[in-house]
Structure 1
Amino acid sequence: AVEAAVARVTDELGAPTILVNNAGILRDNLLFKMSEDDWDAVLRVHLRGAFVATRAVQAHMVAAGWGRVVNLSSTSALGNRGQANYSAAKAGMQGFTKTLAIELGKFGVTANAVAPGVIATDMIAETAERIGMTPEEFHAAAAKDVPVGRVGRPEDIAAAVAFFCSEEASFVSGQVLYVAGGPKA
């Protein structure tokens, strides 16, 4: 399906030279309660999805002599209670990113990762509801631990991704940018 999607994009819009791997799911639970299916599902969506999509577009980038891969990681890559699967997947995204930078750099392709903190998204709203809070209550509680005093917005992440996709970022590769409102990451 990924190869078919890339072929369609190529036919209709031209060769893809920018890829943002942002697919993700949550299946949070403490380790002793986590099922193998929940472990596998999270790693499959985050890591396998990024691998398959990147593999499908890298030949176009190499042929163009220019490309940008931006992978979405998370501050959870540093560890987070109840997220062994998600944390492992997001840490894996960082290693994947650094390896892509090494392998593809000589072809004019950069690879970087953005690691968001708490961002006001539907995924965070679902987490809030799962633990019995409104999204607003969750945001307020999370903001207390953020030096800038708020949770992030999708636009904060989009700006970091846009920079990594720009020509101005041509000498930046293999990096992980924590967009988390403070230095804890």
Structure 2
Amino acid sequence: MIAKLFLVVLVIIIGSFIWYFVKGKVSNTHQQVRDRAIEGNFGRALAAGPATKHLSMMGRTLTLGADPTRAGELIAHVASSDDRVTDVHSEAGAIVIQIDGSYPRARAQLMPDRTVIGIEAMTWEMGFPQGAAVWDRIATAITQAATHQGIPVGEGNREFVKDEGGSGKPEVWTVRVA
């Protein structure tokens, strides 16, 4: 009886070690295949469509036709209520919203007659701009809240370029200056 129990425990321990190393080997293999696909033409071809969609989402801007105090309060309230927003703070004539610690970073320019908000910098990792769904969710919530309060909202679009001054990973992309 004790010998059988000892044998079962020994099989479980040896099986656990084998499982750990096999699982690690499979995970590393999957990681290498994913990296090769992203680096190769096949990966770029697969990622091109969704990346373009995400980039378009990141370029979405909103123009709120309200005084800066009212628009700023609305933007700060809506952005603060999203779980992925880690910081909302005021700067001279602007409100800065940071998503996931640092990027993407949105800036609301508070002007006397209107407020324009959009992404000013983002990271590009694994073939996609990161945080596009979060920004789209926040922009939609701001639009709905402003419309509910009777504030006119207009939409626009921005283009981005890779920030050549930055080095390392992840790549940082900023708004294209005309």
TM-score of the superposition, structure 1-length normalised?
Answer: 0.28
More helix by share: 1
For normalisation by structure 2, the TM-score amounts to: 0.29
Larger radius of gyration: 2
